[in-house]
Amino acid sequence: MILQALDNYYRRRAAHPEPARRLPAVGLVEQPIGYLIEIDPAGRLVQLQKTGEMRGKKHEPSRFLVPRGVKKTSGVAANLLWDSAEYVLGVDTRGKPERVAEQHAAFRAKLAALPEAVASDTGIRAVQAFFDRLDLAALAQLPQWADIADTNPTMTFRLLGDDALVCQRPALQAAPEPTDDDATLEAAICLVRGQPDTVARLHPAIKGVWGAQTSGANIVSFNLDAFNSYGKTQGNNAPIGETAAQTYTTALNALLARDSTNRVQVGDASTVFWADVDDEPMEAGLAFLLGEPAKDDDPDRGIAAVQAIFKAIESGRYQHEAGSRRFHVLALAPNAARIAIRDYHDLPLAELAPRIKRHFDDLAIQGGPNDPPHPSLFRLLAALAAQGKADNIPPRLGGEVLRSVLDGRPYPAQLINLAVLRCRAERKVTYARAAMIKAWLNRDVRAKHTEEKEFQVMLDTSNNHPGYRLGRLFAALEKIQEEAQPGINATIRERFYGAASSTPATVFATLLRLSNHHLAKLKPGRKVNLERLLGEISGGLADFPAHLSLPDQGRFALGYYHQRQDFFTKRSADTDNTAPRSNEHGHRPPLRLRPPVRCEGRQPQRRP
Amino acid sequence: MNRFCLEVSGDFACFTRPEMKVERVSYDLITPSAARNVFQAILWKPEIDWRIHRIEVLKPIRWINLRRNEVGKTVPAGAVASAMKQGRGALGLYIEEERQQRAGLFLRDVGYRLHAELTVKPEARAANPLAKYREMFARRAERGQCVNQPYLGCREFAASFRLVDPLSEPADRQDLSEADRAELGFGKPRDLGYMLHDLDFSDPADPQPRFFRAELHDGAMAVPDWQEALA
């Protein structure tokens, strides 16, 4: 499944119409090359060209596609047509002339070993001629020589007038790949492609998994005795052909690359995703669902990406053939120098798309003008962590929430526990927490098929759940106090939120008595209005329960949040006559550019 | 009839893929060799063979991710031999010192119906009528007897089993949602890639695996004959 899917992705990207997005052919890898030796067809040196540019104080050579190199250890082993200056030119850079002579000989032997059809290529012949007339003393006169002798850069050949390197010439690519002369290799059925192939003993490294070694780690590797089965060693434990080993690693490395738009970090798992079709809006949408867009990015880009999905669903894009195309999400995490599969989802777009929409619909809740309409998973989780720090998010929570979203199942219980505890600890129900609580409760209600009503985007006066009613009542009592004693330091929220939400019976009697004194300070008209509101809210309440369970405390927080938002919207409706802003899809005002939204718990970026 | 159907279920299962067996990832459903071992746990004799024909998936495919401590070393046979000879030295290994934490993507809450055929090996047929083993198996399976507890891929994932007659008691898939049914290949076959069929033990020193293209068709996977599997 995973490797097959990556192999298929490789095949698609290797045949991509745009050369810039095409993945390299099997057998080629991207390597930094320091110098290009430009020669004419007769083998005369035209110039030594230094590649790349300065990045800061360091010179970074450009990267070129070259034939896959051999895995080098302490011995002498040459690559085909590209290598370090010691190998290519036989320049002694470290005072070991015998070894360098051996290296250069190995490099030329590799060239001489090419099959006849390839050796007759103009490029190869020119390289051979170059070596026949190689004169190090003359080369030493060149201005670049000091740099070469000093740094021992990688170098390769280019023919005068060619755009491509000699090692990229069509004749070489058509040639069968030289196999490693390793005696333990076996031919077997490749379990990725199902065709006979030489078994790859070691697989190319996968780079870019956060937390793994920078030189790369492997998914398929057998690095201890206990991992071997039936007396087999290394790759023979899992017969994967050389070709498939190349293709899946190339594809995965491309997905994981630093500038890839198909990767995000979810907690400690590096997550990549890809669709079976080109230009799938879901790819951009998922990137936004999971991660926060780069700070200097346009904050509306993510909103636009999510709305593109909604639009695609509404237009029926996923109904027929396109809906049966599959979408893959793969989460990787390092474990002891290896890469572990944290999670893998592979599902048809027709199912995924409505689940993504469902997630955002569940989250939708009335917010302030600066709250993002479609909060990302990262932002939500950060709002549940102590001090709003991403470091304090429990390690596997992100992955579990993502799994719930993709499976369309209830969110993990841990989520509501954290949200309620954060609300209580900080005595503050923020937009992100309220959204998370609402989404959790609604999914829970749906999964349990109870009679309970789902929570709405805005205040729902018909909801009779005691938790919700008590939350509303608490917000109303706080409002009365605020109006009676404007600007006081500690309101009843600071002092009573925790007790009111967990053990209502103990505090509400006190709170109601207090509110009588507060009401007495108000103007008669306002007093009547607020008393009517209190009556309306407590009308649905039979009794004050002795204690509320965690989900009920979530309902309390939601009732409090809704009622409070309701006070604000009414006021704004009175003063500037704008319609209350709704997050519900379809009722949103048109997109407009806003300053970067502030992320809960993170400092907004200050520009100089 | 020498065909039997066992209904097995368990809380967890891991039918480890060979390519991801260090940091384990399970196949989507039970492999033929794991199913064979369930039958062998109930009855096995040197003269009989079990062959899996069909595997029905009764529950939706669900996953769970967790890490476990396992052992990272095998006891070196050479060191043991020399210790035996000399009369001193270490014979075993200490798991506390050879610990490896390994991540796993396992299946959870699984249920299958395994359809298998019992045969007597050709060389043993003369002295051993098939009816003997058939009756033995039916009797044992009905009583819930087994030599060792059948398990779902790993020994720690015990399986409960029940002998069923698929004709009088068709598989119950009432609880499956529409999306789950689609994932199990109802309506449109679902390709699962290449799956391990079993190992060829004819050369015990170097057993060779065989693979087949697994496909879920209306909630069931047909297992090809051993000879048809890719070697």
DSSP line for A106-173: HHHHHHHTS-HHHHTSHHHHHHHHHHHT--HHHHTTSTTHHHHHHH--EEEEEETT-SSBGGGSHHHH
Spell out, as residue ranges, where chain A has pLDDT lower than 50: 181-184, 572-606, 608
A336 touching chain B per CB within 8 A: yes
- Contact check, Cβ <8 Å, A347/B183: yes
**CB–CB contact A189 B23 (8 Å):** no
Residues A260, A278: Cα–Cα separation, whole Å: 15
Asked if B99 has any chain A CB less than 8 Å from its own CB, the reply is: no
H/E segment holding residue A330: strand A326-335
Residue from B17, B61, B65 whose CB has the most chain A CBs within 10 Å, to mutate: B65
CA distance B181 to B59: 9
Q: What does the pLDDT read at residue A57?
A: 79
Compare CB distances from B22 to A333, A338, A396 and report the shortest one's residue. A338
Min Cα distance A414 → chain B (Å) is: 16
Distance from CA of B230 to the nearest CA of A (A): 7
B73: nearest CB among A224, A238, A239: A224
A37 to A10, A166, A268, A366, A527: CA distances (angstroms): 32, 10, 44, 64, 89
Task: With a threshold of 0.95, tell me whether the complex ipTM lies above it.
Answer: no
Across all residues in chain B, what is the average pLDDT?
91
- Residues whose CB falls within 8 Å of the CB of residue A249, separated by 6 or more in sequence, listed in order: A203, A204, A205, A206
Asked if residue B227 has pLDDT above 50, the reply is yes
Instruction: Measure A195 CA to nearest chain B CA, in Å.
Output: 9
CB pair distance less than 8 Å for B194 and A1: no
> Is the pLDDT confidence value at B57 over 80?
yes
Are A254 and A246 contacting, i.e. CB atoms less than 8 angstroms apart? no
Interchain pair A1, B192: CB under 8 A: yes
DSSP-derived letter for residue B192 is E
| Predicted local confidence at residue A592, as pLDDT | 39
| For range B50-69, the mean pLDDT | 92
- pLDDT above 70: percentage of residues in chain B: 100
φ/ψ of A554, rounded to 5, equals -65, -40
Q: Do B102 and A335 touch (CB under 8 A)?
A: yes
**A185 touching B (Cβ < 8 Å):** no
Question: Which amino acid would we find at residue B134?
Answer: R
Strands (E), B14-88: 24-25, 48-57, 62-71
Q: In Å, how far is A329's CA from the nearest CA of chain B?
A: 14
Closest residue of A to B212, CA-based? A194
Asked if residue A325 lies in contact with residue A349, where contact means CB atoms within 8 angstroms, the answer is yes
Chain B environment of A240 (Cβ under 8 Å): 19
**Mutation to test the A interface, candidates B14, B15, B19, most A Cβ within 10 Å:** B19
pLDDT at B148 over 80: yes
Q: Which of A229, A397, A401 best tests the B interface by mutation, with the highest count of B CBs <10 A?
A: A229
To probe the interface with B, which of A341, A345, A409 has the most B CB atoms within 10 Å?
A341
User: Is B179's Cβ below 8 Å from some Cβ in A?
Assistant: yes
Model pTM above 0.80: no
